[in-house]
Structure 1
Amino acid sequence: MRDFQAFLMRGNVVDLAVAVIIGGAFGAVVNSFIADIVTPVILTPALSAAGVEDIAELSANGVKYGLFLSAVVNFIVIAFVIFVMVRLFERAKRKEEVEAAAEPSVEEKLNDTLAQLTEVMERKL
């Protein structure tokens, strides 16, 4: 039982659990975005022309290609959102790296101070 408790309390297990929960919530947001915004705004004309109200109703000879199209649209939206998020994180990381590179390190400051001190002492001798 202790081994099981130690396993559950390891950081990566907790991180994974949090990621799964957030991923599920993110999936619900994306599904709502597709069903409530993308489908009515973008797909309504195409669905009206096909004579259906829901993309899931699209079928031909029993093949429910509408469900497949819905999954493809969901995938594209999820991929795009993840792409944008990764780009934003990369931009923030680059900004931090540039700011860190612009600031002299403690070692550089110490070396500069020692060099200045050496110059002052040599002038006095």
Structure 2
Amino acid sequence: MLKEFKTFIMRGNVLDLAIAVIIGAAFGKIVTSLTDDVLMPIIGKLFGGLDFSSYFWRMGSVPAGYAGSLSDYAALKKAGVPLLGYGAFATQLVNFVIVAFIIFMLLRVVNRAAAMLEREKATVAVAPAPEPVEIALLREIRDELKKR
């Protein structure tokens, strides 16, 4: 069983997938930081506030024992108040659009490179295969017979 597991793990596509997941997780953190720390404050500033994730609608009443701020999304959510957090959703939507755009650009580059490679393959003239020795010998014999 251990040998089968080792064979499974050592297959190229499993290792490629593991590497892709690790790189994807790191890339996701970079995109999250870009969105949360750079883009969303700019978008939030355009909409009148610096913290876009604090945009929400309360959908229910606040518990009687709640002593925190009524504008603190995280605290209200922790207290169990039903909230519609459209600011947090917009942040995740921007994250998705950034990742989707980058994947689109990568695929575009790969597709263009593949097309260029195909064009190069088509233009390269294939050298004819060398003539087999038997055919050359038969040709020489024919030519000699024609001379006689």
Q: Shorter chain as normaliser: what TM range? A: 0.7 to 0.9
RMSD: 2.3
After superposition, residues 85-100 of structure 1 pair within 5 angstroms as 85-100=106-121
Following superposition, the deviation at residue 70 of structure 1 comes to 0.8
Give unpaired runs (5+ residues) of structure 1: 115-121
- Greater per-residue helix proportion: 1
Distance 2:10 2:122 in 1: 37
User: SS of the counterpart of 1:53?
Assistant: coil
Please list every run of 5 or more consecutive structure 2 residues that lacks an aligned counterpart in the other structure: 59-82, 132-142
Q: Provide the rounded CA distance (Å) in 1 between the counterparts of 2:107 and 2:35.
A: 21
Larger radius of gyration: 2
The one-letter amino acid of 2:29's match is A
Q: TM-score, normalising length from structure 2?
A: 0.64
**Which one-letter code corresponds to 2:84 in the other structure?**
V
TM-score by length of 1: 0.75
> 1:17 Cα deviation (Å)?
0.5
1:94 to partner: Cα distance:
0.8
Instruction: Output the CA distance in 2 between the equivalents of 1:103 and 1:42.
Output: 52
The list of structure 1 runs, each at least 4 consecutive aligned residues, that deviate by more than 3 angstroms after superposition, is: 40-43
| Cα distance in 1, alignment partners of residues 39 and 123 from structure 2 | 44
Q: Percent identity?
A: 37
Whole-Å separation in 1 of the counterparts to 2:35 and 2:101: 13
Could you tell me which residue of structure 1 aligns to residue 56 of structure 2? 59
Paired positions, count: 109
Describe the SS at the equivalent of 2:84. Answer: coil
Question: Are positions 1:2 and 2:3 aligned together?
Answer: yes
Q: What's the CA shift string for 1:28-79, capped at 9, x where partnerless?
A: 1211221233223344221xx2xx4322111111211111111111111111
Name which structure has the greater RCO, CA cutoff 8 Å, separation 6+: 2
